[in-house]
Amino acid sequence: MTALTALSHARGFATVTMCAAVLVGLPVQAQVEQPARPLPAGPVNIRPIISAARTIVLGTVTAVEPFYGFAARDSVLYDLKKVSLAVSDVFRGTVTPTKTLELRQIVPPAFEMAVGDQFLWFVATDPAPARVPLIGMYAGSFRVSTDAHKRLVASTVFDNRGLWDETQPLWDVYPRARTEDALRAFQSPALTEERIQQLMEWGEQPGSQRPIPVDLLRALSGVRPLGDRRHAAR
């Protein structure tokens, strides 16, 4: 399945429109009972999602259009929805208003997407080539909402289950001091001292099955996880 991304420049800043195909399986004929190709059995750990992503973008759905496709090897006709995402922030990568990208997403499970919804997408390549896949298929798509304090938080289709062990705090996965340094380096806008301390306290609580502050995900995008000897993400 494919997705087409149109990038445009508007209001003095780069606005990127990305299209992801969301599919729902429908039998071609009533007698066809062959199941679709199996999908990964469970959630994907946060470390490969962030570390493998060459592009991480935050954006808002601006259009949802029908798009139909047929997968012969599955004997299934898929009812696809082409979802346009206008990018408002780039946490990693070299997104520009001069390229056309194509995203691929295999579902179910998948989010129901509607105009106005916000998402954080972890893309497997820096968007120079076409055909840009999301990390782990649906695992690279986080729905963004607001908490009680109107701050952005993000969740996977599994409500963040399995991103890390439920007995561990985040600081058993990512280095606390370097993450704090990354939070303090934020500009436009910079975070208040109170907000930084709130995020650090969030990381001390065990388990991942709760909405993750988007500010924290942004900081983690520039920090390598514990035990990873590779260079820190750019």
Q: What is the DSSP string of 24-75?
A: EEEESSTT--PPPPP--SS---HHHHHHH-SEEEEEEEEEEEEEEEEEGGGT
Q: Where are the alpha helices (DSSP H) in the chain?
A: 46-52, 176-184, 193-204, 214-220
Contact status, residue 54 vs residue 124, Cβ threshold 8 Å: yes
Question: Each residue of 105-161: pLDDT tens digit?
Answer: 544 556 777 889 999 988 888 865 545 677 876 788 899 999 999 999 999 988 999
Question: Each residue of 68-100: pLDDT tens digit?
Answer: 655 545 555 555 667 777 888 889 988 765 454
Dig out the tokens for 74 from the structure. Answer: 């599955």
Contact status, residue 155 vs residue 145, Cβ threshold 8 Å: yes
CA 59, 61, 65, 70 torsion-angle sign:
positive
Q: Which residue has the tokens 């439920």?
A: 166
**In terms of Cα–Cα distance, which of 147, 151, 127 is closest to 19?**
127
Question: Each residue of 191-226: pLDDT tens digit?
Answer: 999 999 999 999 999 999 999 999 999 999 999 999
> Would you give the DSSP letter of residue 148?
T
Mean pLDDT of 7-31: 43
Per-domain residue ranges for the chain?
Answer: 5-164
Q: Is the pLDDT of residue 28 over 80?
A: no
Cα–Cα distances in angstroms (integers) from residue 225 to residues 51, 57, 99, 121, 173, in the given order: 8, 20, 31, 19, 6
